[in-house]
Copies of this chain bind each other. A is one copy, B any other.
Amino acid sequence: MNNFRFNVRTDVRFGKGSISALPELVEKYGGKNVLLVYGGGSIRKNGIYDSIKELLSDKKVYELSGIEPNPDIEKVREGAAICKENKIDCVLAVGGGSVIDSSKVIAAAANYDGDAWTLVENSSEIGRVLPVIAVLTMAATGSEMNKNAVISDKKNNKKLGTSSLDFIPYAAICDPEYLYSLPPVQTAAGTADIMSHVFEQYFRKDTGAYISDSIAEAILKTCIKYCPVALKDPKNYEARANLMWASTLALNSLISCGKAGAWSAHPIEHELSAFYDVTHGVGLAIVTPSWMRYVMNEENVKQFSAYGRNVWGISEPDDKKCAAMAIDKTQQFFKDCGIPTTLSEIGIDDTKIDIMAEAAVKNNNLDSAFVPLKKEDVAAILRNCL
């Protein structure tokens, strides 16, 4: 087991009605001037916007709306400007990963003299960061309890991750009932994102971190058990609650304790999103099984068969067969959840595969991935998705 640091300060308030803790949390971690960041109009329709405004009626609340999926640096610049002009004390992110990620970089850019994109390209430039408080309305990215942010520069076909311990939200309000109104594709794509986060940390060089791997398996089993329930019965509280907490635990560094190595499917998917604005979780569901099949080899086959046995309950004793069955089951699961499983289905052909492969290798450290990937490998993985 590798050495590790685990340090996650987020004060999580989980469960129905937990929004009532908002005034206490803003008082404790924030201050008088709040920047409320959100996406489209959904929080206005479902009442979350109104209850927040009412709960914070004694604060001065500024607003930045219109954060889109694969959030763009332009909105971050806009948010940073509001912070600078109005002496904002904390950023209140109400939404999913796009909103929370944007809020983190806004909170850093608020205290930065240069251009916000520099903070995305070079995390060492991140200085003092305003406190971020998250109100979660999606179960997917885990951004509510981690140090990561992924921001796009759409004008230049770029999508990059940046991170800082100071990005970790001070508090997060997670109400599973907020997920009731999600369209099925978002529930499914969100689950694919959660599962992919687990895969990225689970399929790493085996360092004997058995406990982390077993917890990873617990999270995967949770996704597999409850995503179909939530799709069939969107207001099933137990399903929504388990998925919501799974999304947080999948990427708050818990399951990477004792393990190391760069990610694989996410870097590849990031290029799909950068070039085609694909829904992140959909891109992951397409890329993941293809990546698994491509990298599975003599050396790591036991990790894939362990995945098959411990997560899918496959009893096949032959490691290779068991591993292949596990990958097929993964792909079939995404399909059964209604997610496209090929690039053709979402209208992507091979035109840009080589450019995307080149960008994936250039923008990421795929040399230190589970199985190191070169440009040709990424291109092959993407071609196998067509």
Contact assessment for B8 and A8 in the assembled complex, using a CB-CB cutoff below 8 Å: yes
Q: How far is the CA of A18 from the CA of B210 in the complex (A)?
A: 20
A275 within 8 A of B: no
A13 within 8 A of B: yes
Interface residues in A6-43 by Cβ distance below 8 A to B read 6-18
Contact assessment for B6 and A18 in the assembled complex, using a CB-CB cutoff below 8 Å: no
**What is the total number of residues of chain A having a CB less than 8 Å from a CB of chain B?**
42
A226 within 8 A of B: yes
A82 within 8 A of B: no
Contact assessment for A14 and B257 in the assembled complex, using a CB-CB cutoff below 8 Å: yes
Residue-wise interface mask of A (236-248) relative to B, using a CB-CB cutoff of 8 A (1 in contact, 0 not): 0110011001100
- Nearest to A225 among chain B residues (CB) is B210
A355 within 8 A of B: no
Q: How far is the CA of A377 from the CA of B197 in the complex (A)?
A: 47
Select one of B3, B5, B6 contacting A16, CB under 8 A: B3
A95 within 8 A of B: no
Q: Counting chain B CB atoms within 10 Å of each CB, which of A6, A222, A225 scores highest? A: A6
Q: Which of A68-76, A103-111, A213-221, A361-369 contacts B (4 or more CB under 8 A)?
A: A213-221
Q: Please give, as numbers and ranges, the residues of chain B lying within 8 Å of A222 by CB-CB distance.
A: 210-211, 214
A1 within 8 A of B: yes
Q: How far is the CA of A275 from the CA of B176 in the complex (A)?
A: 46
Q: How far is the CA of A6 from the CA of B10 in the complex (A)?
A: 8
- Nearest to A172 among chain B residues (CB) is B6
Q: Counting chain B CB atoms within 10 Å of each CB, which of A11, A18, A241 scores highest? A: A241
Q: Counting chain B CB atoms within 10 Å of each CB, which of A14, A18, A221, A226 scores highest? A: A14
A249 within 8 A of B: yes
- Nearest to A219 among chain B residues (CB) is B211
Contact assessment for B12 and A5 in the assembled complex, using a CB-CB cutoff below 8 Å: yes
A276 within 8 A of B: no
- Nearest to A15 among chain B residues (CB) is B3
Contact assessment for A6 and B1 in the assembled complex, using a CB-CB cutoff below 8 Å: no
Select one of B12, B211, B218 contacting A214, CB under 8 A: B218
Q: How far is the CA of A246 from the CA of B213 in the complex (A)?
A: 12
A258 within 8 A of B: yes
Contact assessment for B245 and A211 in the assembled complex, using a CB-CB cutoff below 8 Å: yes
Select one of B5, B176, B208, B214 contacting A14, CB under 8 A: B5
Contact assessment for A245 and B226 in the assembled complex, using a CB-CB cutoff below 8 Å: no
- Nearest to A16 among chain B residues (CB) is B3
Chain A positions near chain B (C-beta within 8 angstroms):
1-18, 176, 208-211, 214-215, 217-219, 221-222, 225-226, 237-238, 241-242, 245-246, 249, 254, 257-258
* 11 more A-B residue pairs beyond the given contacts A2-B15, A211-B246, with a C-beta to C-beta distance below 8 A: A1-B245, A3-B14, A3-B18, A6-B10, A7-B11, A8-B8, A208-B242, A211-B219, A211-B242, A215-B249, A217-B218
- A sample of 22 inter-chain contacts (CB < 8 A) reads A1-B238, A2-B15, A3-B16, A3-B17, A3-B18, A4-B14, A4-B15, A5-B12, A5-B13, A6-B12, A6-B14, A7-B11, A14-B257, A14-B258, A211-B219, A211-B222, A211-B245, A211-B246, A214-B217, A214-B221, A214-B222, A254-B254
